[in-house]
Chain A
Amino acid sequence: MLLFLFLLLSSCFQNENVNENDLIYWSSNNSYEINFAKVVTDNWNKDTHLSKVYFQPVPEGQSSEEIILAAVVGKTTPDIYSNMWQGDVEAYAQAGVLIPLDTLDGFLDFLYNRCDSTVVEEIKSLDGHIYQIPWKVNPILLIYNENLINKLSLKRPPKTYSEFLDLSYEFMDDADGDGYTDRWFGYAEVQVTWWQRFFDFYPLYLAASGGASLVNNGRAVFNNEHSIKVFRFLKELYEKNYFTKEKLSSRQDVFLSSVIATRFTGPWEIMHADNFKTDDFLYDFSYIPVPDNHTGPVYTYGDPKNIVIFNSCKNPEEAWRFLKTLISEKGDLELLKITNQLPRRKDLEINDTFRDYFNNNPKMKTFASQSKYVKGTDASPVLKEVFDLISQEYEACVVYGIKTPEEALKDAEEAVNLLFLK
């Protein structure tokens, strides 16, 4: 497989028109981001610069992560890649294939101007350098069916665990009368695949804990009162059959067909829902539910995708000059308009540049207000395994109830600490 990808990627870069100073830029391969990348590269190439930027979407593969890995192995990386999952950066940084961006002229000033210091701390690698530009986020929120929620006693989406459980009980139903529940208040995939936890445990943990880490200094730090509350809450949802264990993703969209009333999801759902919903179907977004006694802001997972410069780049300073235009106010507005994804910047809600966009897209306002309180992932080269180990215990405790939250989290903590020792 890797050999095939290597050969494919090698053959991709035989562009005879590319000069030594020119830059090759890979974007995500979804059509919206391709359009965005075309706009920013065209704008750059219109003006006279030392380098031209040649853009192409990341080649098709099972996942863009796999393609990037194959490119790194085959030494066919582009100069710039703009869709790097934050959790992958540490492994590439440790492998020495990324440029430490904090060594570039003016980078840190630009970064602190764009982002809060907490974001800068979050993206810092374990060696103290910064290898990524925080570019965009897609915060995970609770989408809800307004028609169904308005029929329930609370008349609004739940904000706390108690409210969520009460509404779940009120909503659950056996619509076809076969003696089995077939209408659930919410749904999350029960598969143990590590990234599934971005849509249940992780945003709930960040919300409950005020954005706490999972791992820190090579130790698991997630076995705490917050994670126990989250596990207990989710366990009750499955125990009482408010959430189903069945895989519903292979059926017709269960949210749009009103089989479920809520789901944890990101802003990409807006385009999908607007394309496929019926005219009378109303929906909106709300914040992640928190424990009843919670105080302070409600955090969530931001699913951050960042920009990196590979060390195959011969002219990183020029790449940085290009990137400054890509993440300028103008570039960020284009990102919003073309892709409906939020730039990760601290002035998103107050900057006049973006006001018209949010007035025209009111559903995105909730995401914009949430964007102040999003967290990405901790810097760790074994992050996927950490999530996988948590997933194993999540399944045993939350879904199948064979462990208590305390036992499951203790076992997960021990397994993760053992992982760091290896």
Chain B
Amino acid sequence: MKITKDKILPYLLVSPYLLHFGLFVAFPVIFSIVLTFHNWDIISPMEFTGLNNYVRLFSDKIFFKSLLNTLLFLCIHIPLQIVVALFLAEILNQNINFRGLFRGAFFLPVIVSGVVVTILWQQLYGFDAGLINRMLVKIGMNKIGWLTDPNVAMISIAVMATWKNVGLYIILFLVGLQTVPGHYYEAADLEGASRSQKFFRITLPMINPTIFMVVLLSTVGGFSLFIEPYVMTGGGPLNSTISAVLYIYKQGFFYYHMGYAATLGLFFAVIIMLVVVIQKKYVEQET
């Protein structure tokens, strides 16, 4: 059969993507799955261990603690993110003075390096010399161990992560709010609807797809929590801020347990996939 130029051209056109996909997606994924059945410290040859890494995973208390920590982070971070972002977007959608300046100011933390933000917040959260505790003492309150109290540390990190990312979600909500047709509000005004009625009966249902997108992005972003605990607390105190990704990183790059780290990573990827699928089903039902 004669191979014509027309038959080769499509393959040539898709080959850069296929090469990229093969090298940076397919190969690492397949290699990771193979790794889960091995012990490998990078410098010694791989050793086949069957299902040992999976057995170890199910008895690893710190890993399950890290999963719970990640879940706690999501439970604080996502609602907080949505409420704050929606509230600010609603304000910034009004005709207020310096609107452009405020929009820019709220977006600024998004483009600042995560490490810089965490170092800045470390100063704010300091027990003795931190600005927040100094203000609390000034108004007669007790100091709080923002990063040293195991019951508070994850909440502190979630608040900081919300501050860092809220600008992005404000933009998304602004886009959503501006797609709501104005005549809905005019009709509601004629019917004598209150401000809150208009918000809950018109705005919220109309921006439901945006809310889903924000929940999805926050969930995926939240699952990859790493920089904040890595820089601020190292996962402490008492493992109260160790996230799943940080724990996997430690197994892989502190102790070079590449096989075990791959097993944890695979298990965690399955959890993320399940959560996203459930979220998607739920939202599809709602809409």
Is A34 an interface residue, CB under 8 A from the partner? no
Q: Report chain A residues within 8 Å CB of B29.
A: none
Is B159 an interface residue, CB under 8 A from the partner? no
Determine the distance from Cα of A287 to Cα of B127 in the docked complex, in whole angstroms.
Answer: 31
Determine the distance from Cα of A182 to Cα of B148 in the docked complex, in whole angstroms.
Answer: 16
Q: A246-B126, A384-B254 are in contact. Are A400 and B238 (CB under 8 A)?
A: yes
Interface size class of B (residues with CB under 8 A): 20 to 34
Is B137 an interface residue, CB under 8 A from the partner? yes
User: Which residues in window 156-210 of A have CB below 8 A to B?
Assistant: 178-180, 182, 190-194
Interface size class of A (residues with CB under 8 A): 35 or more
- The 0/1 profile, CB within 8 Å of B marked 1, for residues 235-248 of chain A is 00000000011110
Q: A385-B255, A402-B238, A422-B56 are in contact. Are A182 and B128 (CB under 8 A)?
A: yes
User: Which residues in window 195-247 of B have CB below 8 A to A?
Assistant: 233-239
Determine the distance from Cα of A415 to Cα of B150 in the docked complex, in whole angstroms.
Answer: 23
Determine the distance from Cα of A91 to Cα of B257 in the docked complex, in whole angstroms.
Answer: 13
Instruction: Judge whether A73 and B127 touch: CB under 8 Å.
Output: no
Q: Report chain A residues within 8 Å CB of B119.
A: 250
Is B67 an interface residue, CB under 8 A from the partner? no
Is A111 an interface residue, CB under 8 A from the partner? no
Instruction: Judge whether A245 and B148 touch: CB under 8 Å.
Output: yes
Determine the distance from Cα of A250 to Cα of B233 in the docked complex, in whole angstroms.
Answer: 12
Q: A190-B236, A385-B255 are in contact. Are A400 and B150 (CB under 8 A)?
A: yes
Instruction: Judge whether A245 and B145 touch: CB under 8 Å.
Output: yes
Determine the distance from Cα of A422 to Cα of B239 in the docked complex, in whole angstroms.
Answer: 23
Residue of A nearest to B149 (CB): A245
Instruction: Judge whether A180 and B42 touch: CB under 8 Å.
Output: no
Is A395 an interface residue, CB under 8 A from the partner? yes
Residue of B nearest to A66 (CB): B253
Instruction: Judge whether B42 and A73 touch: CB under 8 Å.
Output: yes
Separation in Å of the B134 CB from the closest CB of chain A? 8
- The 0/1 profile, CB within 8 Å of B marked 1, for residues 52-89 of chain A is 00000000000000000100110000000000000000
Is B15 an interface residue, CB under 8 A from the partner? no
Instruction: Judge whether A245 and B238 touch: CB under 8 Å.
Output: no
Is B187 an interface residue, CB under 8 A from the partner? no
Residue of B nearest to A96 (CB): B44
Is B143 an interface residue, CB under 8 A from the partner? yes
- The 0/1 profile, CB within 8 Å of A marked 1, for residues 112-156 of chain B is 000000010011001111000000010000010101101000000
Is B43 an interface residue, CB under 8 A from the partner? yes
Instruction: Judge whether A246 and B127 touch: CB under 8 Å.
Output: yes
Is A221 an interface residue, CB under 8 A from the partner? no
Determine the distance from Cα of A246 to Cα of B254 in the docked complex, in whole angstroms.
Answer: 24
The main secondary structure of chain B at its interface with chain A is loop
Instruction: Judge whether B44 and A246 touch: CB under 8 Å.
Output: no
Separation in Å of the A411 CB from the closest CB of chain B? 11
Instruction: Judge whether B43 and A245 touch: CB under 8 Å.
Output: no
Determine the distance from Cα of A246 to Cα of B236 in the docked complex, in whole angstroms.
Answer: 12
Q: Report chain B residues within 8 Å CB of A400.
A: 150, 237-238
Residue in A190, A246, A382, A396 whose beta carbon sits within 8 Å of that of B128 in the complex: A246
Is A2 an interface residue, CB under 8 A from the partner? yes
Determine the distance from Cα of A384 to Cα of B254 in the docked complex, in whole angstroms.
Answer: 8
Q: A245-B145, A247-B147 are in contact. Are A92 and B255 (CB under 8 A)?
A: no
Instruction: Judge whether B237 and A244 touch: CB under 8 Å.
Output: no
Q: Report chain B residues within 8 Å CB of A396.
A: 238
Instruction: Judge whether B42 and A384 touch: CB under 8 Å.
Output: no
Residue of A nearest to B44 (CB): A95
Separation in Å of the A377 CB from the closest CB of chain B? 16
- The 0/1 profile, CB within 8 Å of B marked 1, for residues 26-50 of chain A is 0000000000000000000000000
User: Which residues in window 372-404 of A have CB below 8 A to B?
Assistant: 382, 384-385, 388, 392, 395-396, 399-400, 402
Residue in B41, B42, B122, B150 whose beta carbon sits within 8 Å of that of A247 in the complex: B122
Interface centre among B122, B126, B233, B237 (most CB of A within 10 A): B237
Is A151 an interface residue, CB under 8 A from the partner? no
Determine the distance from Cα of A169 to Cα of B239 in the docked complex, in whole angstroms.
Answer: 30
Instruction: Judge whether A192 and B234 touch: CB under 8 Å.
Output: yes
Q: A180-B128, A246-B148 are in contact. Are A395 and B238 (CB under 8 A)?
A: yes
Residue of A nearest to B130 (CB): A246
Q: Report chain B residues within 8 Å CB of A245.
A: 127, 145, 148, 237
Instruction: Judge whether A97 and B236 touch: CB under 8 Å.
Output: no
Instruction: Judge whether A395 and B236 touch: CB under 8 Å.
Output: yes
Separation in Å of the B213 CB from the closest CB of chain A? 31
Instruction: Judge whether A244 and B41 touch: CB under 8 Å.
Output: no
Q: Report chain A residues within 8 Å CB of B148.
A: 190, 245-246
Is A272 an interface residue, CB under 8 A from the partner? no
Determine the distance from Cα of A54 to Cα of B24 in the docked complex, in whole angstroms.
Answer: 36
Determine the distance from Cα of A180 to Cα of B126 in the docked complex, in whole angstroms.
Answer: 13
The 10 tightest CB contacts between A and B, nearest first, are A95-B43, A246-B127, A191-B234, A245-B148, A95-B44, A178-B137, A72-B43, A182-B128, A192-B236, A73-B42
Interface residues of B (CB under 8 A from A): 41-44, 56, 119, 122-123, 126-129, 137, 143, 145, 147-148, 150, 233-239, 253-256
Instruction: Give 6 A-B pairs besides A180-B137, A246-B148 with Cβ atoms closer than 8 angstroms.
Output: A191-B234, A192-B236, A193-B234, A245-B237, A251-B126, A251-B129
Instruction: List 21 A-B pairs, Cβ < 8 Å.
Output: A2-B42, A69-B256, A72-B42, A72-B43, A92-B43, A95-B44, A97-B43, A190-B236, A191-B234, A192-B239, A245-B127, A245-B145, A246-B127, A246-B128, A250-B119, A250-B123, A250-B126, A392-B239, A395-B236, A402-B238, A422-B56
